[in-house]
């Protein structure tokens, strides 16, 4: 019996040793094997540590600041290691322009993280890839234009929605209130009329829930824990943020799938009222051809979700920055209001054509976008081919970070980059001037497809509000007391604040 026990113990010990050694071999193979890209010439960068790469120097909540500081040491093009994965970081206007515009095809891919792969599967227009992305982008741009993007029809909707937003602001009778949900709802309703074919009342529970899901995920997706998951996906089981994001995505998709199913068999090709209707008709046409098609249910779900999220968050966040800036700098607010009074007056609503006669207001809006820096990290790009950039040979499939923060605050392009200064967009005579380094919508093949709509919304909502109200801080709060630091997220939003909207 003792011999048997000894033998069993020996065998168990041997088995455990084999498992341990095998695990070590696999571990070292995965993390220390020579890179296949060793024949390429990557830019310089901080020396990576084993396993973690350069994560030891990364400020997870302000990654853009880490990269800006590193660029001072390693130059405008450098390599940063997230674990074993090499990222090429591009900083400064000239560098980002050369990559995204001058070599647009080479740097026009969408970089993928474990999160984007998990929740988008290469579908949709934001994280889409390859021919699927090209097809969806062409179709989406065409459909947005058909439903009035950049035209009088969508302008009329924005004007009407701004009147409803003004009514909500007036209901507070000059008392302090938090404007976020009202601004979100107004802006979101514009894209909702396109995607769903109708607007929502501001107190609609389903509407508020959809907004909440988007807002939560925008913050959670770049939390430190989620960034660690993107580097070390095997820890996903332990990440609560991942479970919450997954739950939010499923709920959002469930809403869209139900809409899709309700519309699929009843849509009228002669009376298409929404993006979803148009997609379904196109899907039927492709199915009739009996050929492979990218117009499947998943692409409808992901593209519609992309439009709802992107069409709500960035514009509403920029407007919130705009009102915050007007309270922080009341003398600038006075100049904007004086120009509105002179050009538009107090009775008729603002129209897009007024913009060319309002250089100061135009400059203020551009400076709000520049200084607000709503998408500080840009979205991840990827090289589509082996390419040479500034003497470095970068392989196909390399993730690239074209840092928008470094463009919007480039000291070589802006006189006072770290100050809110509408003069950046005005000449000596007070005329509006365009700046090539103004890239809040990114540039190149992946430039924001809703740029035209966003610009129209920003001007019409902003001028309508400033036409009707003077914005003040609540009693006891001074302009210098305002927290101007952004809240970390995919988009950089202002901290929650209250305002007093005093009507004339």
Find the mean pLDDT for residues 473-485: 92
CA–CA distance, 305 with 196 (Å, rounded to integer): 11
Q: What percent of the chain has pLDDT over 90?
A: 82
Question: What confidence category does residue 38 fall into, taking pLDDT thresholds of 50, 70 and 90?
Answer: low
| Both structure tokens of 359 | 């250089």
Question: What confidence category does residue 24 fall into, taking pLDDT thresholds of 50, 70 and 90?
Answer: very low
| pLDDT, tens digit (0-9, with 9 covering 90-100), for 335-359 | 999 999 999 999 999 999 999 999 9
Find the mean pLDDT for residues 480-500: 94
The DSSP element (H or E) to which 87 belongs, if any, is strand 85-90
- Output the known binding site for heme: 448
Indicate if the pLDDT at residue 168 is higher than 60: yes
CA distances in angstroms from 34 to 29, 38, 454, 469, listed in the order given: 9, 7, 46, 63
CA–CA distance, 273 with 147 (Å, rounded to integer): 9
Find the mean pLDDT for residues 196-218: 95
Tokens 């993928």, residue located: 112
| pLDDT, tens digit (0-9, with 9 covering 90-100), for 373-408 | 999 999 999 999 999 999 999 999 999 999 999 999
Domain ranges of the chain: 55-503
Find the mean pLDDT for residues 90-111: 97
In this predicted structure, what is the pLDDT of residue 152?
Answer: 83
Does the CA dihedral 327-332-333-334 come out positive or negative?
positive
Indicate if the pLDDT at residue 37 is higher than 80: no
- How would you label 150-189 residue by residue, b for 16+ Cβ within 10 Å and e otherwise? eeeebbebbbebbeebbebbeebeeeebebbbbbbbbbbb
Rg of the chain, C-alpha, whole Å? 26
CA–CA distance, 6 with 165 (Å, rounded to integer): 81
CA–CA distance, 56 with 65 (Å, rounded to integer): 14
The residue that leads in pLDDT, 77 or 270, is 77
Torsion-angle region of 373 (φ positive above 0: left; ψ -120 to 50: alpha; else: beta): left
Contact 169, 465 (CB under 8 A): yes
Question: What confidence category does residue 134 fall into, taking pLDDT thresholds of 50, 70 and 90?
Answer: very high
CA distances in angstroms from 6 to 9, 12, 17, 252, listed in the order given: 5, 10, 16, 59
In this predicted structure, what is the pLDDT of residue 293?
Answer: 86
Q: Average pLDDT of the chain?
A: 91
- The three-state DSSP-derived secondary structure of 419-441 is CCCHHHHECCCCCECCCCCCCCC
| pLDDT, tens digit (0-9, with 9 covering 90-100), for 308-330 | 999 999 999 999 999 999 999 99
In this predicted structure, what is the pLDDT of residue 264?
Answer: 85
CA–CA distance, 401 with 222 (Å, rounded to integer): 15
In this predicted structure, what is the pLDDT of residue 4?
Answer: 39
| Both structure tokens of 373 | 């820096």
Question: What confidence category does residue 3 fall into, taking pLDDT thresholds of 50, 70 and 90?
Answer: very low
Find the mean pLDDT for residues 109-120: 93
In this predicted structure, what is the pLDDT of residue 236?
Answer: 86
The DSSP element (H or E) to which 79 belongs, if any, is strand 77-82
Find the mean pLDDT for residues 368-373: 98
In this predicted structure, what is the pLDDT of residue 126?
Answer: 94
CA distances in angstroms from 55 to 67, 174, 205, 224, listed in the order given: 12, 48, 41, 11
In this predicted structure, what is the pLDDT of residue 292?
Answer: 79
- What is the value of pTM for the model shown? 0.90
Find the mean pLDDT for residues 57-81: 97
Q: Do the strands 85-90 and 399-402 form a parallel or antiparallel pair, or are they unpaired?
A: parallel
Q: What percent of the chain has pLDDT over 70?
A: 92
With a CB cutoff of 8 Å and minimum separation 6, the contacts of 227 are 60
Q: DSSP of 222-233, one letter per residue?
A: TSHHHHHHHH-G
CA–CA distance, 47 with 39 (Å, rounded to integer): 18
Contact 88, 401 (CB under 8 A): yes
Calculate ∠ Cα 310-316-317, nearest 5°.
95
In this predicted structure, what is the pLDDT of residue 167?
Answer: 97
- Output the known binding site: 448
Considering the domain delimited by 55-503, tell me its CATH architecture. Orthogonal Bundle (1.10)
């Amino acid at each position: 019996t003792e011999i048997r026990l000894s033998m069993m113990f020996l065998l168990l010990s041997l088995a455990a040793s084999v498992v341990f050694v095998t695990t070590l071999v696999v571990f070292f193979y995965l993390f220390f094997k020579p890179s296949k890209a060793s024949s390429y010439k990557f830019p310089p960068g901080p020396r990576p540590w084993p396993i973690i790469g350069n994560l030891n120097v990364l400020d997870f909540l302000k990654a853009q600041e880490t990269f800006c500081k590193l660029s001072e040491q390693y130059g405008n093009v450098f390599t940063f290691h997230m674990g074993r994965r090499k990222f090429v970081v591009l900083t400064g206007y000239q560098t980002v322009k050369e990559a995204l515009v001058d070599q647009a095809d080479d740097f026009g891919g969408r970089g993928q993280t474990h999160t984007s792969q998990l929740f988008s599967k290469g579908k949709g227009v934001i994280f889409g890839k390859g021919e699927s992305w090209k097809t969806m982008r062409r179709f989406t741009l065409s459909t947005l234009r058909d439903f009035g993007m950049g035209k009088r029809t969508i302008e009329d909707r924005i004007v009407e929605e701004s009147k409803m937003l003004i009514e909500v602001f007036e209901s507070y009778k000059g008392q302090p209130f938090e404007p976020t949900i009202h601004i979100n709802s107004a802006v979101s309703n514009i894209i909702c009329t396109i995607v769903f074919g109708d607007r929502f009342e501001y107190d609609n529970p389903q509407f508020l829930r959809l907004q909440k899901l988007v807002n939560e995920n925008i913050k959670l997706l770049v939390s430190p824990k989620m960034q660690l998951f993107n580097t070390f996906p095997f820890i996903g089981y332990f990440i609560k943020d991942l479970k919450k994001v997954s739950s939010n995505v499923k709920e959002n998709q469930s809403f869209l799938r139900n809409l899709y199913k309700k519309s699929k068999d009843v849509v009228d090709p002669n009376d298409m009222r929404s993006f979803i209707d148009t997609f379904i008709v196109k899907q039927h046409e492709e199915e009739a051809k009996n050929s492979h098609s990218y117009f499947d249910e998943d692409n409808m779900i992901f593209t519609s979700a992309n439009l709802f999220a992107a069409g709500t968050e960035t514009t509403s966040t920029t407007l919130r920055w705009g009102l915050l800036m007007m309270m922080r700098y009341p003398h600038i607010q006075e100049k904007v209001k004086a120009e509105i009074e002179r050009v538009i007056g107090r009775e008729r609503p603002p129209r897009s054509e007024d913009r060319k006669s309002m250089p100061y207001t135009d400059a203020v809006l551009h400076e709000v976008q520049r200084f607000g820096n709503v998408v500080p990290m840009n979205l991840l790009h990827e090289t589509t081919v082996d390419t040479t950039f500034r003497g470095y040979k970068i392989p196909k499939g390399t993730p690239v970070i074209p840092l928008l923060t470094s463009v919007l605050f480039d000291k070589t392009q802006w006189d006072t980059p770290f100050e809110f200064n509408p003069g950046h967009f005005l000449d000596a005579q007070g005329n509006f001037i365009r700046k090539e380094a103004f890239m809040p919508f990114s540039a190149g093949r992946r430039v924001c497809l809703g740029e035209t709509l966003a610009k129209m919304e920003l001007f019409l909502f902003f001028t309508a509000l400033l036409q009707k109200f003077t914005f003040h801080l609540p009693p006891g709060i001074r302009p210098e007391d305002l927290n101007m630091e952004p809240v970390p997220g995919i988009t950089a939003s202002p901290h929650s604040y209250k305002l007093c909207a005093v009507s004339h």
